[in-house]
C-alpha cells in the first residue's frame, strides 16, 4: 500500500537514540516527519537500551570535544522541555599510564577546546577521592567537570515523546527493505517488508548495527561498519561503602586508558552495584546474535582489585547485560550523504563505535541540518565522510592507540 497524501518531508529509518533525536529536530523545525522502526519501540536488540551511558568531553580526538559540549546543553534543554530526568551530572575522571598517547592526546584536546581540567599524579588522586581510587605510581588522572550518566531507554522514549508532540508520526514493527529514487517527481520511496511504501523529499538512515546491510541493499555500497556484541557488568560495592560510590556525591564517571580500555559509572540504577565494563566485544551478525557468553573478565577483575582499594568485590559480576556496538575501523562516526544516484536525498548516521549516545542530540541536529539544508552547521564533516575509507581502508589516521580492543584483535565477519 502506498502512503496516501503528500508524503513526508523526511522519513527517518531506525528509532534508536539517533533516529529519535533526528525525528525530534525535524518535527521541531516544522517539517512533516515519519520515524520507522523495525522492532517494537524501546526494544533491547540494538544499541540504545539499558540503564546508563556516560557523557564526557575528554576525547583524544579534539573534534569530539565541542560536539560533547553542545550535546550536554541539548540534553539539558530536552529534559527541561518535557520534565523527564535522563541526565545525571557527575565529574569525569580519566586515568592511565603517563606515557599513554591517547590519554595525553585527551589532555591536549581539553587545552585546545578550553575544557577546564586538572591533571593529577597518583598521590593527588588518592587524596581527591579519599583513597577510593588508587593509581600506580606511573599513572596520571585527568578531572573534568563535564561528566555524568544518561539513562538510555528513558532518553529514547523522551525524544520519541518530544518528536510526537511536535507532530512527527512514529511507527514501529515496520522493517524498511529498500529506498528508491523517484525519477519523475524527485524525492525517494521508502518501502517496507509489509508492502507499505512512503514517499519523502529526503530520507535519513539511522539503522545502528543494521546500517551496513540496509545501505548495501539500497545502493550496493559496502560500508566498513562491523557489529560487535559487548557485555556490561555490574559489581557489588562492599557493605558500608555503597554511598561512597553513589551518584550525587563526588564519585565520578570514569575511563581507564590502555589495553583494555575500561569505563564505568557511579552507582545509580541498581543500588549497591557499580557498572564497570571493558570497551570491547565480539564481531556478530545483528540478525544472528550469539547472545553471549560474553568476554573474558580476568583483566577487568584485576583492574577493579587494583583501582578500588578492595571496596568493590571483584570476584564475579552480580549482573551482566548484552548490547551492540557498530564499529568503524577508525572508531569515528559515519555522518554523510549516501551520494551516487541519491545525491543529498539520503543521509546516513551510523558507525557510532560504542561512543555515540552522549552525542545523540547534536548528531540529530546535524542529520536534520543535512536533510533540510544540505550541510551540518558548525561541524567539520570531513572526519565523518564515507570517502575516507576509499582513500584509506583504515579511515582517519591517528597517532594514538585504538580504544576498542576488537579493532586490533579480531577479524571482521561479513554480514
Ligand X SMILES: Cc1cc2nc3c(=O)[nH]c(=O)nc-3n(C[C@H](O)[C@H](O)[C@H](O)COP(=O)(O)OP(=O)(O)OC[C@H]3O[C@@H](n4cnc5c(N)ncnc54)[C@H](O)[C@@H]3O)c2cc1C
CB of 17 to ligand X, least distance (A): 5
Which residues lie near ligand X (CB under 6 A)? 13-19, 36-39, 46-48, 53-54, 175-176, 206-210, 214, 230, 232, 323-325, 352, 354-358
* Separation CA 1–CA 75 (nearest Å): 38
Q: What DSSP assignment string belongs to 325-386?
A: EEE-TTS--EEEE--GGGTTSEEEEE--TT--GGGHHHHHHHHHHHHHHSS-TTS-GGGG-T
CB of 233 to ligand X, least distance (A): 10
Residue with Cβ nearer ligand X (155 or 312): 155
Non-local CB neighbours of 244 within 8 Å, separated by 6+ positions: 130, 132, 237, 251, 311
Name the residue among 264, 282, 284 with its Cα closest to residue 274. Answer: 264
CB of 18 to ligand X, least distance (A): 3
Look up residue 179 and give its three cell numbers: 529506498
Residue with Cβ nearer ligand X (47 or 113): 47
2 secondary structure, DSSP code: B
CB of 265 to ligand X, least distance (A): 8
Q: Do the beta carbons of residue 161 and residue 131 sit within 8 Å? A: no
Alpha carbon distances (Å) from 410 to 329, 386, 415: 11, 22, 15
* Separation CA 240–CA 218 (nearest Å): 56
Residue with Cβ nearer ligand X (214 or 304): 214
Residue with Cβ nearer ligand X (105 or 403): 403
Containing 18, the helix (H) or strand (E) segment is helix 17-28
Strand partners of residue 254 = 93, 264
Burial of 341 (0-12, 13-18, 19+ CB in 10 A): exposed
Residue with Cβ nearer ligand X (14 or 187): 14
Strand partners of residue 328 = none
Residue with Cβ nearer ligand X (260 or 354): 354
* Separation CA 358–CA 86 (nearest Å): 11
Residue with Cβ nearer ligand X (37 or 336): 37
* Separation CA 72–CA 173 (nearest Å): 31
Residue that is written with C-alpha cell 560533547 in the block: 68
CB of 299 to ligand X, least distance (A): 18
CB of 101 to ligand X, least distance (A): 22
Count, in order, helices (H) and strands (E) of the chain: 10, 18
Residue with Cβ nearer ligand X (142 or 323): 323
Residue that is written with C-alpha cell 540503564 in the block: 51
Residue nearest to ligand X (CB): 16
CB of 408 to ligand X, least distance (A): 19
Residue with Cβ nearer ligand X (45 or 122): 45
CB of 55 to ligand X, least distance (A): 7
Look up residue 393 and give its three cell numbers: 581502508
CB of 73 to ligand X, least distance (A): 16
Backbone angles phi, psi at 44, to 5 degrees: -115, 25
* Separation CA 299–CA 259 (nearest Å): 9
Name the residue among 137, 156, 120, 131 with its Cα closest to residue 42. Answer: 156
Alpha carbon distances (Å) from 318 to 117, 151, 299, 304: 34, 20, 17, 14
CB of 298 to ligand X, least distance (A): 19
Residue with Cβ nearer ligand X (140 or 215): 215
CB of 122 to ligand X, least distance (A): 25
Residue with Cβ nearer ligand X (175 or 219): 175
Amino acid at each position: 500500500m502506498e502512503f496516501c497524501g503528500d508524503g513526508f518531508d523526511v522519513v527517518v529509518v531506525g528509532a534508536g537514540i539517533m533516529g529519535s533525536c533526528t525525528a525530534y529536530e525535524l518535527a521541531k523545525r516544522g517539517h512533516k516527519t515519519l520515524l520507522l522502526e523495525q522492532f517494537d519501540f524501546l526494544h533491547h536488540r540494538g544499541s540504545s537500551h539499558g540503564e546508563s551511558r556516560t557523557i564526557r568531553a575528554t576525547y583524544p580526538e579534539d573534534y569530539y570535544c565541542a560536539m560533547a559540549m553542545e550535546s550536554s546543553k541539548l540534553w539539558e534543554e530536552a529534559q527541561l522541555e518535557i520534565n523527564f530526568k535522563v541526565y545525571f551530572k557527575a565529574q569525569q575522571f580519566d586515568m592511565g599510564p603517563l606515557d599513554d598517547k591517547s590519554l595525553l592526546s585527551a589532555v591536549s584536546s581539553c587545552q585546545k577546546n578550553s575544557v577546564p581540567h586538572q591533571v593529577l599524579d597518583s598521590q593527588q588522586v588518592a587524596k581527591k577521592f579519599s583513597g577510593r581510587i588508587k593509581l600506580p605510581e606511573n599513572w596520571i588522572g585527568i578531572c573534568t567537570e563535564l561528566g555524568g550518566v544518561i539513562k538510555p531507554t528513558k532518553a529514547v522514549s523522551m525524544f520519541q515523546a518530544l518528536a510526537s508532540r511536535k507532530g512527527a508520526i512514529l511507527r514501529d514493527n515496520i522493517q524498511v527493505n529498500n529506498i528508491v529514487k523517484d525519477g519523475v517527481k524527485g524525492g525517494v520511496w521508502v518501502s517496507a517488508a509489509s508492502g507499505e511504501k512512503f514517499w519523502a523529499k529526503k530520507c535519513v538512515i539511522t539503522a545502528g548495527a543494521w546500517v551496513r546491510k540496509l545501505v548495501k541493499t539500497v545502493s550496493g555500497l559496502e560500508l566498513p561498519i562491523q557489529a560487535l556484541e559487548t557485555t556490561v557488568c555490574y559489581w557489588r560495592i562492599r557493605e558500608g561503602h555503597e554511598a561512597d560510590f553513589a551518584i550525587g556525591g563526588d564519585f565520578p564517571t570514569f575511563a581507564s586508558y590502555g589495553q583494555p580500555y575500561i569505563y564505568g559509572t557511579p552507582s545509580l540504577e541498581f543500588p549497591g552495584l557499580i557498572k564497570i565494563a571493558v570497551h570491547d566485544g565480539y564481531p556478530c551478525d545483528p540478525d544472528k546474535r550469539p547472545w553471549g557468553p560474553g568476554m573474558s573478565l580476568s583483566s577487568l577483575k584485576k583492574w577493579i582489585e587494583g583501582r578500588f582499594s578492595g571496596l568493590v568485590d571483584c570476584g564475579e559480576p552480580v549482573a551482566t547485560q548484552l548490547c551492540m556496538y557498530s564499529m568503524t575501523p577508525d572508531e569515528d562516526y559515519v555522518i554523510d550523504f549516501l551520494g551516487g544516484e541519491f545525491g543529498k536525498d539520503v543521509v546516513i548516521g551510523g558507525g557510532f563505535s560504542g561512543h555515540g549516545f552522549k552525542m545523540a542530540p547534536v548528531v540529530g541536529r546535524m542529520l536534520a541540518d543535512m536533510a533540510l539544508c544540505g550541510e551540518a552547521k558548525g561541524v567539520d564533516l570531513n572526519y565523518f565522510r564515507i570517502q575516507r575509507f576509499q582513500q584509506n581502508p583504515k579511515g582517519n589516521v591517528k597517532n594514538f592507540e585504538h580504544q576498542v580492543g576488537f579493532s586490533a584483535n579480531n577479524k571482521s565477519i561479513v554480514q
